[in-house]
Amino acid sequence: MAVLIPCLNEEKTIGKVVRDFRSHLPEAEVYVFDNASVDRTVEKARQAGALVLSENRRGKGLVVQAMFQRVDADIYVLVDGDDTYPAEKARELVAPILSGEADKVVGSLLARGANSEFRYLNWFGNKIFLHLINSVFRTSLTDILSGFRAMNKSTVRGIPLFVRGFDIEAELVVKALQRGYRIVEIPVDLRPRPEGSYSKIRAFRDGWQILSTILSLMRDYKPFTFFGSIALPPLALGLILAIRILQAYPVTGLAHQLPTMILALGLLLAALISMGVGLVLHTVDRRFQEMEYYLKLLVR
């Protein structure tokens, strides 16, 4: 078992985080992946007993990719180094994986029973992203952006990761859902950062990045839903305009409003093209899923 802690300038908290997880998961090796910190993060982590590795390319997504590539374990516990997640929940987090109930367990900050302290903007953004993913993938998750989660080895090895920033959590969730991995959530409380510690997240910039990643993943893994949704507005408007023209025809015997006719036909054609693109990509995606399945069988 391995505890993986991505870290950037967390000298005030990293020592406590390492000691807490070593205490609650004594059988686990604790790794701190330093993301080019300029303070005493590395020194504090080593003093607390962590194995320290470096990833100089800035970005949480890049650090998580490096962790999964360089650390070999049966179970991976991923947690931020800011001391906002409770280490005493670590045993409960890995229990569903050890029992074979889950492939991935998320410490949900928004589940019933959790008492987390959120900034309103972060809470609101999380809710929007959550509703979008639950609607598209027909699931009932309560938190997709938690930085506290556990995964078994097959999940880590089976999910290709490409994003570079804080949208890594969204990519982990969407790709786990798309591949059919079993996800379980347990409620955890998010604590406020200690005094002198500051968040690296920028609400608007990172929120837009997370939304862009979710939409891109929808385009890649749910193409018919994605392009079908794009087709709905022009389809509805084109039908309304066409109906108005057809209603006037029995009275006058003429098809007036030539510009409106052209606009209606253009909108309907655009909608049909969008749906056609979605259908074709859906078929291609299904074939790739079959190919991925057979490749897994060959590897086994």
Q: What is the pLDDT of residue 254?
A: 56
Q: Which of 221, 252, 283 is the last residue of a domain?
A: 221
Note the pTM of the prediction, 2 decimals.
0.84
Comparing 7-16, 88-97, 121-130, 225-234, the range with the smallest average pLDDT is 121-130
Tell me: do 186 and 127 sit in the same domain.
yes
Q: How many structural domains are present in the chain?
A: 2
Tell me: do 248 and 168 sit in the same domain.
no
User: Is the pLDDT at 160 greater than 80, yes or no?
Assistant: yes
Burial class (CB in 10 A: 0-12, 13-18, 19+), 258: exposed
- pLDDT tens string 47-66: 999 999 999 999 999 999 99
Give long-range contacts, CB 8 A cutoff, 24+ apart: 270-274.
270/231, 270/234, 270/238, 271/231, 271/232, 271/234, 271/235, 271/238, 272/231, 274/227, 274/228, 274/230, 274/231, 274/234
Tell me: do 216 and 227 sit in the same domain.
no
- pLDDT tens string 138-153: 999 999 889 999 999 9
* Confidence band for 30, pLDDT divided at 50, 70 and 90: very high
Domain with 113, as residue range(s), is 2-221
Tell me: do 134 and 191 sit in the same domain.
yes
What number is the average pLDDT over the span 9-16? Answer: 94
Tell me: do 25 and 152 sit in the same domain.
yes
Tell me: do 138 and 61 sit in the same domain.
yes
Tell me: do 149 and 229 sit in the same domain.
no
